């Protein structure tokens, strides 16, 4: 059983809990997720099964989109509604134009620090272990990209927003920093992840639906096969001798490739293009490896699916 599952994670469940439940349902240990969702958050969680777990480096960099609600008036120690309020509630709320202007300041390339209560590691330990002991940790901020951070609706003290950002961006920190910029404090009240790369929440299944489909033997309904993953990478079909070379970790050359690709345009790199990643297939349609090369003169496998 190998492939990708799109889960609609419920609130008050950790991403690890979702993986643990699926391991129990499938009686399979080789399962992992591609990007943590906070327990309070709901929405799209990508879960890899079997050989698909090897694709983490390629999925971990995908952009993510969210919708959510921010509560103005006070911040919390966790930057969300699960935390302890830091100060009194400020009832002098800004108007919608001031909020829109403040939100645009966070669009583009920004430096962002992880929240104190997060799983980000410091000296091998999650930050929340220090925060629980009231120990502050100074971490260097990380460069992130916020494609947009928009106001959808405003009914003080709550504002509804939508955002799209690079992997690793903390929406809790956006909410907290927005409150500081507005001068009234703020924290994240609700959050739903709607997209990861080209995958959408509307394609996701609840854990109960996955269990029912698994019992019915309808894997085709919820499991995206390896061969359908990473479609942005060009597809190369290998000869049998090429497949054997790749599965032994050796590079392949044009004589090991079936040309032209059936039903697909022939890959032609642009001048100066860096090494691209290619999906290598056997002639019976199985994905056998991912490989890198500046062009089709030589492809070296970087991930072999034996």
Shared domain check, 101 and 52: no
Q: Burial level of 264, CB count in 10 A (0-12/13-18/19+)?
A: exposed
Shared domain check, 33 and 112: no
Neighbours of 70 (CB within 10 A): 27
CB crowding 166-201: b at 16 or more within 10 Å, else e = bbbbbbbbbbbbbbebbebbbbbbbbbbbbbbebeb
Look at residue 160 in the predicted model and tell me its pLDDT: 98
Total domains, the chain: 3
Shared domain check, 183 and 68: yes
Per-residue pLDDT of 184-231, as tens digits, reads 999 999 999 999 999 999 999 999 999 999 999 999 999 999 999 998
Q: Band of the pLDDT at 272, cuts 50, 70, 90?
A: very low
Per-residue pLDDT of 5-63, as tens digits, reads 999 999 999 999 999 999 999 999 999 999 889 899 999 999 999 999 999 999 988 99
Query: Who's near 246: CB < 8 A, 6+ residues apart?
Result: 238, 252, 280, 288, 289, 291, 301, 304
Q: Which of 11, 166, 44 is nearest to 174 (CA)?
A: 166
Distance, first Cα to last Cα, the chain: 14
What is the pTM (predicted TM-score) of this model?
0.87
Q: Report the alpha-carbon distance of residue 28 to residue 26 in Å, rounded.
A: 5
Q: What is the CATH number of the domain that holds 263?
A: 2.30.130.10
Q: Band of the pLDDT at 87, cuts 50, 70, 90?
A: confident
Shared domain check, 55 and 98: no
Shared domain check, 163 and 74: yes
Q: Using DSSP, state whether 30 is helix, strand or coil.
A: coil
Look at residue 216 in the predicted model and tell me its pLDDT: 94
Look at residue 260 in the predicted model and tell me its pLDDT: 52
- Residues marked active site are found at 38
Shared domain check, 204 and 189: no
Shared domain check, 132 and 249: no
Shared domain check, 128 and 94: yes
Neighbours of 143 (CB within 10 A): 10
Q: Report the alpha-carbon distance of residue 34 to residue 28 in Å, rounded.
A: 17
Place of tokens 């090897």: 54
Per-residue pLDDT of 139-167, as tens digits, reads 777 899 999 999 999 999 999 999 999 99
Q: Report the alpha-carbon distance of residue 212 to residue 12 in Å, rounded.
A: 22
Q: Band of the pLDDT at 135, cuts 50, 70, 90?
A: low
Look at residue 297 in the predicted model and tell me its pLDDT: 82
Q: What is the CATH number of the domain that holds 106?
A: 3.30.2350.10
Range of the domain at 290: 233-304
Shared domain check, 53 and 122: no
More confident residue, 44 or 262: 44
Q: Report the alpha-carbon distance of residue 198 to residue 231 in Å, rounded.
A: 10
Shared domain check, 188 and 69: yes
Neighbours of 63 (CB within 10 A): 15
Look at residue 96 in the predicted model and tell me its pLDDT: 96
Look at residue 114 in the predicted model and tell me its pLDDT: 76
Tell me if the bond preceding 260 is cis, omega within 30° of 0: yes
Q: Report the alpha-carbon distance of residue 84 to residue 236 in Å, rounded.
A: 54
Q: What DSSP line would sit under 161-176, residue for residue?
A: EEEEE-TT--HHHHHH
CA atoms within 13 A on the CB side of 87: 15
Shared domain check, 279 and 167: no
Shared domain check, 148 and 98: yes
Go through the chain and tell me how many residues it has: 306
């Amino acid at each position: 059983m190998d492939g990708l599952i799109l889960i609609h994670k419920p609130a008050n469940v950790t991403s690890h809990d979702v993986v643990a439940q699926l391991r129990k349902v499938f009686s399979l240990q080789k399962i992992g997720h591609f990007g943590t969702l906070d327990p309070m958050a709901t929405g799209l969680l990508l879960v890899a099964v079997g050989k698909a777990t090897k694709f983490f480096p390629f999925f971990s960099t995908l952009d993510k989109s969210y919708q959510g609600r921010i509560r103005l008036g006070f911040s919390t120690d966790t930057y969300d509604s699960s935390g302890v309020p830091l100060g009194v509630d400020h009832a002098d709320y800004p108007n919608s134009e001031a909020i829109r202007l403040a939100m645009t300041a966070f669009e583009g390339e920004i430096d962002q620090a992880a929240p104190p209560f997060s799983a980000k590691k410091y000296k091998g330990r999650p930050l929340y272990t220090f925060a629980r002991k009231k120990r502050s940790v100074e971490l260097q901020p990380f460069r992130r990209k916020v494609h947009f951070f928009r106001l959808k609706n405003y009914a003080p003290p709550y504002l509804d927003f939508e955002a799209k950002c690079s992997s690793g961006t903390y929406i809790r920190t956006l909410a907290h920093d927005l409150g500081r910029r507005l001068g009234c404090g703020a924290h994240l009240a609700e959050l739903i992840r709607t997209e990861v790369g080209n995958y959408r929440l509307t394609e996701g299944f609840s854990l109960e639906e996955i269990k029912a489909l698994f019992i019915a033997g309808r894997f085709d309904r919820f499991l995206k096969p390896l061969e359908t993953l990473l479609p942005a990478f060009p597809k190369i079909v290998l000869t049998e001798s090429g497949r054997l070379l790749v599965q032994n970790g050796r590079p392949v050359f044009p004589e090991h490739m079936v040309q032209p690709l059936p039903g697909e345009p022939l890959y032609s790199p642009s001048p100066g293009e860096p090494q691209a990643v290619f999906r290598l297939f056997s002639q019976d349609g199985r994905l056998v490896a991912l490989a890198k090369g500046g062009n089709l003169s030589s492809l070296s496998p970087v991930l072999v699916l034996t």
